[in-house]
Each structure stands twice: as structure tokens, then as C-alpha cells.
Amino acid sequence: MKIVFRLFLVFVIAFGLASVPAVAQADDSTEYVSVSVATSWVDPAIDRPVDAPAVSNPVNIRKWTTDMTLGQRVDLVGMLETQALYGNPVRILERQGDWVHVAVVGQPTPRNTLGYPGWVPARQLLTNPVFGELQAARPFALVTSNTTWLSKDAAGRHHEMELSANTRLPVLARTAAAVLVATPDRGSRWLPAKDVRVFAKASDIPRPTGADLVRTAKKFVGLHYLWAGTSAFGFDCSGFTHTVYALNGMTIPRDAGPQKVAGTPVDKADLQVGDLIFYAYNHGTGSVHHVGMYIGDGYEIDAPGNSATQESPLEIVKVDQHRYADEYAGAVRYL
């Protein structure tokens, strides 16, 4: 077996993994995200000219998020569903021209048992059975830095794609300084060892403490708000909490309302670090619209959202002084 793997490794290093172009398939097939961040939309083909960097292949999510005006950011509310990271499997639900209706695997929601639904440009997905087999069989590299670069060489001199935290790619080989990973669209590539952690399987990620969750969350302070964002290029409130837990090996629902339902309720007086705090309309009695994470000493961290006149980056704020303090709707614990 070791000899076979060495021969396989020589092949992938020399020639790269064969990527298979996307082809028309029956519903419920699996494809893989072939851009650093694929943004899913409520309906197909509703993107605006300013969104071109987000619907292309390759994408430039950093340019997209920085080029938009505040008004253009606010207008995304109700237009977007969620985001999926490079290599993430998606289940195909429907095709319509150049757009594909998908369910993002790994983002639980009561809306679809397969994953979080939304429309993605077909150019950002591909079919690659070899990559899928490697995902199932090989250890994986979990990107733990806010972002890192996928490179053609182990020294990292030839950057190809900036990847977000929580990106997961199958591992083929390791050196002290770099990790060789399989990709869905460009064969084998390298990641800096300092920016990833390698696990044999997802269940091997150590169960976090509340302090671990808070430590992860604080890495993103100052990051701007992006409706539907689940990447280190911009989060929405529940995309932030979902990702912080995911980086620590725990899968919780994608949206704030289901996150509240799935956790164990705790009293405000008994809050512990890592607990999630929720806010709801009608002074906390209506539907949940916001979530943050308790970090101790009366403070929480959250992605608060943008108003029509002010951009609000991810911040730390006192719970009792939160902008939605009068809409407090309870808290839950997952640990």
C-alpha cells in the first residue's frame, strides 16, 4: 500500500490531479466549488455589475467587498443566501441556463436536509470524482489563519489563490514548512504549514472549550459585515458564529433562528464564554434576527450589520449596551 501511494504521489506532483469538466447531470449529484469563495444567490442572474468579481472564475472577493459602496452592501440583504469555500461539496438541485441551484454541504438548515440552498454560477462548480474520493480517504488540511495562499511551489513564491479560514483540502504530503494538497480544479498545490492544521478526519478536531471559541472569534475583530458571508473576507452574524464553531470542529446550523433552537437554553445570569446570544423582533418575543457570542465579563462579539448610513465591522460590545439590547431573546450553549 505504501508503494502504491508513493507512485500515486509522484503522479500527482508531476502531472496534477485530472480535473473533470462540469457536465449536465441529474438532480442530487455532487459537484465541488472551484473558486476561493462561491456566493449563492436567492435567484439566478440577479447579480449587478458591481458583483462581477464575485460571480466570475476566478473570483476576487476582496476586490468585490472593498469596491462596493455602503449602499450597494446594504442592497445585498435579501439577494444572497450563503457562501461556500474552495473544494466544498455541493448537491445539485436544479439547473437554469448558466446558473445552478445547489445545497451547500456542511451548512445545516431546516430549509433542505442536503444543505443550505442557493443559486451559484455554473462556472464556479465542477465535477471531479478523483477529488471526491480523496476527500473521503485522505487526511485534510484545515486553514486556520484568517486567509492564506495556495501556491504552485512549496516555498510559496508562486501564489495562485487566496483562501479563507475554514477551507478544507485533502492532504497528499507534508514537509516542515508546507503541505501538499489536492484541489478540485488544478491538481496538487501547496499551503504554508503555519496556516493550517492537519487532521485524519473531522472528528479528530479537539472538542473546544469556550475559551477556544472566543480565541478564534477575536481573530476576526474589525472585519467588515457582509450579508450571507461565511468567509474571512466578510461575515454576517450567523455566518460568523457558524464558522467559529466549524473551525473548532463543531457543526451548528447556518442561520441564527435554527442556531437558537438547536442549542441548550441558558439564563442570562449564567452565561459562559462561547455561549450564543440571540435577539428577536418585538422586544425579543418575535422571530430571531441576530446572534452574537458571549466572551465573558459582560461582553459579546458579533457581526452587527450595516445601516443605510454606517458600516459596522465585527466588534466587541457590552451585552447590556448592544444596539439590540431591548430585543434580547435568550442564549444557548453547545459545549
C-alpha angle with apex 278: 273 to 282, nearest 5 degrees?
A: 155
Burial state string for 112-136 with b = 16 or more CB within 10 A and e = fewer than 16: bebbbbbbbbbbbbbbbeebbebbe
What is the CATH T-level fold of the domain 210-333, as seen in this structure? endopeptidase fold (from Nostoc punctiforme) (3.90.1720)
CB 137 within 8 A of CB 182: no
Residue from 314, 244, 313 nearest 275 by CA? 244
Q: Give dist(CA 90, CA 131) in Å, integer.
A: 13
pLDDT per residue over 275-289, tens digit each?
A: 999 999 999 999 999
What are the domain boundaries of the chain?
Answer: 21-127, 130-204, 210-333
C-alpha cell at 151: 501556491
Which pLDDT band holds residue 18 (cuts at 50, 70, 90)?
A: very low
CB 20 within 8 A of CB 129: yes
Average pLDDT on 95-108 reads 98
pLDDT at position 306 is: 82
Q: Give dist(CA 123, CA 119) in Å, integer.
A: 12
Which pLDDT band holds residue 308 (cuts at 50, 70, 90)?
A: low
In angstroms, what CA-CA distances link 271 with 250, 282, 323? 19, 23, 19
Which pLDDT band holds residue 27 (cuts at 50, 70, 90)?
A: low
Mean pLDDT of the chain: 92
Q: Give the number of other Cβ atoms within 10 Å of residue 101's Cβ.
A: 20
H-state helical runs in 229-275: 237-247, 256-262
Answer yes or no: is pLDDT of 24 > 50: no
Distance spanning both ends of the chain, measured CA to CA: 39
Contacts of residue 73, Cβ cutoff 8 Å, sequence gap at least 6: 225, 226, 227, 306, 311
pLDDT per residue over 149-174, tens digit each?
A: 999 999 999 999 999 999 999 999 99
Answer yes or no: is pLDDT of 35 > 50: yes
In angstroms, what CA-CA distances link 98 with 34, 45, 64, 116? 15, 8, 21, 20
Tell me the range of 1-15, 20-34, 283-297 where mean pLDDT is highest: 283-297
Of the chain, the percentage scoring pLDDT greater than 70 comes to 91
Average pLDDT on 194-222 reads 97
Among 1.10.10.10, 1.20.810.10, 2.170.190.11, 2.30.30.40, what is the CATH number of 130-204?
A: 2.30.30.40
pLDDT at position 180 is: 98
pLDDT at position 1 is: 39
| DSSP classification of residue 64 | H
Of 112 and 18, more confident: 112
* Cell 459582560 belongs to residue: 298
